[in-house]
Amino acid sequence: MSRSEHPTRPAVHGFWEGTGATKTFTHPLDPALLERYVPRDARILDYGCGYGRLTARLAELGYRDVHGVDPSHALIERGRREHPGLPLRQFDALPLPFEDGTFDAALLFVVLGVVTDDADQGALLAELARLVRPSGVLHLSDVPLQSDAHHVRRYDEAAAAEPGRPYGVFTTPDGGLFRHHRPEELRELLWAHGFAVEEEHQKETATLHRGERTRSVQLVARRQSGPGQGR
């Protein structure tokens, strides 16, 4: 059976067709970090591109073959208005219509933080492992569990309200559903799907919510191949 006979639709919260589609995304791209791993002529997938903020930034930096994909109709429509001519496409199901090993690199910026279900995260990482060629790169940026009292209270209240959810999943007052991970969870998830982390950094980052800041984590992982490597 072909993959296309059984499409997977990771849960996309309705927030991203309404309020979320008006937000200003904030996780910064470090051009020097990217350049160490991804040459300018690489073919890059920006998965969860939103309104194309990073897709456009990559084009400005001279990356000539970048493809932005997002499940949200509203975000892609916004991106087409703000960045006319950028290759932004909306797909709400996996697999994506690209051949195995199509891309030299993929970006996954604050996507696992909004795809909160374990099974949905696994399906997405499996698809990226299919699409990124062996020895290619996955560059991930997301939010780890925070240790300040505000976030800990938020995590604990959400866990008490819905005990079946992973710890770190919470809802914001404006209706957003998010998940913060332990950094080791991110590394383990990448390794389980064939990506070995080569570089990791943490920094302070503004959030979608005005006035709030969090620690973010950025990982660069290499797609492995051969027995005993990840998958």
- Where in the chain are the domains? 29-144+181-223
Best CATH choice for the domain 29-144+181-223 from the list 1.10.357.10, 3.40.50.150, 3.40.1160.10, 3.20.20.70: 3.40.50.150
Q: What is the share, in percent, of the chain residues with pLDDT greater than 70?
A: 90
For residues 104 and 42, the answer to whether their CB atoms sit within 8 Å is yes
For residues 74 and 92, the answer to whether their CB atoms sit within 8 Å is no
Integer Cα distance of 231 and 218 in angstroms: 22
Mean per-residue pLDDT, 108-124: 96
- pLDDT one-digit tens code per residue, 187-196: 999 999 999 9
Mean per-residue pLDDT, 193-208: 89
Tell me the pLDDT band of 22, cut-offs 50, 70 and 90. very high
Task: State residue 227's pLDDT score.
Answer: 40
Tell me the pLDDT band of 4, cut-offs 50, 70 and 90. very low
- pLDDT one-digit tens code per residue, 141-167: 999 999 999 999 999 999 999 999 999
Q: What is the share, in percent, of the chain residues with pLDDT greater than 90?
A: 83
Integer Cα distance of 156 and 159 in angstroms: 5
pLDDT at 69 over 50: yes
What is the pTM (predicted TM-score) of this model? 0.91
Angstrom distances, CA of residue 3 to CA of 6, 96, 113, 117, 211: 6, 10, 26, 21, 43
pLDDT at 78 over 70: yes
Strands 177-179, 88-90: pairing is unpaired
Tell me the pLDDT band of 11, cut-offs 50, 70 and 90. low
pLDDT at 181 over 60: yes
Task: State residue 5's pLDDT score.
Answer: 46
